[in-house]
Amino acid sequence: MSYYFRPPNSREQNLFIIRFSVDNLSKNNFTNNILNNNAYTSPAKVFLPPNLFLKYNDDFSFTIDYTNAKFEIAPTVNIQMKELLTNSIPSIIGYYTSIINITNTSVTYGIYKTTVDGNTVNPLIVDLNENTNPLLNVGIQIQIIGRTTTGPTFAIANQGWTYVESTEPNMDTIYSTMNVGTKGVIPPFGLTIGGTYGYLGGAGNGGIANTTKLENYTPLEVIDNINNYSFFPIKLSSTLTITLPEVTSDNIGQEITLLINVNPSTYVLTISTTNTTLSSNIDLQSVGDSVKFVVLSTDESVVRWVKINNL
């Protein structure tokens, strides 16, 4: 389901739409007062949220349960009847619905038929189980729109892509509080990040994200932020040895790039072999020297930083 993006004409995040049609509400299409799956005509039931159902109640009302859509608050529900009354029942001039109650998990509504008796118009609530089968060949169209919780576990509200408007031209931003990437699947296209690299996080300020320019990291800031960012331009102020942190299977696929960006002297940054597959330490000294690591499982039980480029 693609419901992570906000429609451009709404200020709400993560709006989710459920829509479906039923062409025939005949009582024969209900089993134990639950609408049969094959009665959903557009789209098919399989394209609706899991376990959604339409039920006829003992008080002559109908309920649509959409619990698994995970709406945060009661959505907006639009219900439109579908009918073909020409030459069928001249006394009936139309079918209408009235919403009784809406919550974030369900909506309850009644269906009325409007009949004409002389000069009198009479709205009568429909009893689905009448012997006359009053909703035979009468259909319904449903549209439900609301803000939904998202994310892999639906545990936290609005975990999808968030659109932030700016008062400055061309400065609107989309960001996500979820991990963005693939797990176990090789994407068919590369991910290109344009604009300022400041969104990778600024260093030189304790690792606080900087949105205007690319800051330099000290070697110690690299270690402090190694699980936060992926690209680290480094400023050396002394010769130093660093050890990449221990990793687990949760880190598999994590990549980092270390680049010497400023070296006012002949300082050397040494990366030790600890927690890596390096056979010997690596020295970075000249501006432009870089090394890239990715976390991989080197056998069934050992996870290490693996160097994937040459100096």
Q: Give the residue from 3, 272, 246 showing the smallest Cα distance to 145.
A: 3
Number of domains in the chain: 2
Q: In terms of DSSP bridges, do strands 269-271 and 240-242 run parallel, antiparallel, or are they unpaired? A: parallel
User: What confidence score (pLDDT) does residue 158 get?
Assistant: 47
Which residue is listed with tokens 């290490």?
304
Domain boundaries, position 218: 184-307
Q: Which of 124, 147, 170 is the last residue of a domain?
A: 147
Tell me the pLDDT tens digit for each residue of 46-84. Answer: 999 989 999 999 999 999 999 998 898 999 999 999 886
Residue 163 in domain: no
Instruction: Note whether residue 157 is domain-resident.
Output: no
In a domain, 5, yes or no: no
| Residue 167 belongs to some domain of the structure | no
Give Cα separations from 288 to 258, 260, 291 (angstroms).
10, 5, 10
Q: What average pLDDT does range 124-152 have in this prediction?
A: 84
Tell me the CATH number at 189: 2.60.120
Omega prior to 43 cis, within 30 of 0 = yes
Residues 121 and 41 in one domain: yes
154 conformational bin, left if phi > 0, alpha if psi -120 to 50, beta if neither: left
Q: How confident is the model over 145-157, as a mean pLDDT?
A: 58
Which of the given ranges, 13-22, 193-202, 210-219, 286-295, has the highest pLDDT on average?
A: 286-295
Least confident range from 55-64, 106-115, 163-172, 193-202: namely 193-202
**Confidence at residue 263, expressed as pLDDT on a 0 to 100 scale:** 94
Whether 156 is in a domain gets the answer no
Residue type, 186: I
Task: Say whether 27 sits in a helix, a strand or coil.
Answer: helix
> End of a domain among 147, 169, 200?
147
More confident residue, 172 or 37: 37
**Is 143 found in the same domain as 21?**
yes
pLDDT of residue 166: 67
**Cα atoms in the Cβ-side hemisphere of radius 13 Å centred on 73:** 7
Q: Could you give phi then psi for residue 47, rounded to 5 degrees?
A: -90, 0
Query: Do residues 125 and 242 share a domain?
Result: no
DSSP 268: -
Q: Is 64 helix (H, G, I), strand (E, B) or coil?
A: strand
Please check whether residues 46 and 134 belong to one and the same domain.
yes
* Inside any domain, residue 169: no
Residue 282 placed within a domain? yes
Tell me the average pLDDT of the chain: 79
**DSSP code of 157?**
T
- 1 found inside a domain: no
- Split at pLDDT 50, 70, 90, the class of 14 is confident
Confidence of residue 178 (pLDDT cuts 50, 70, 90): low
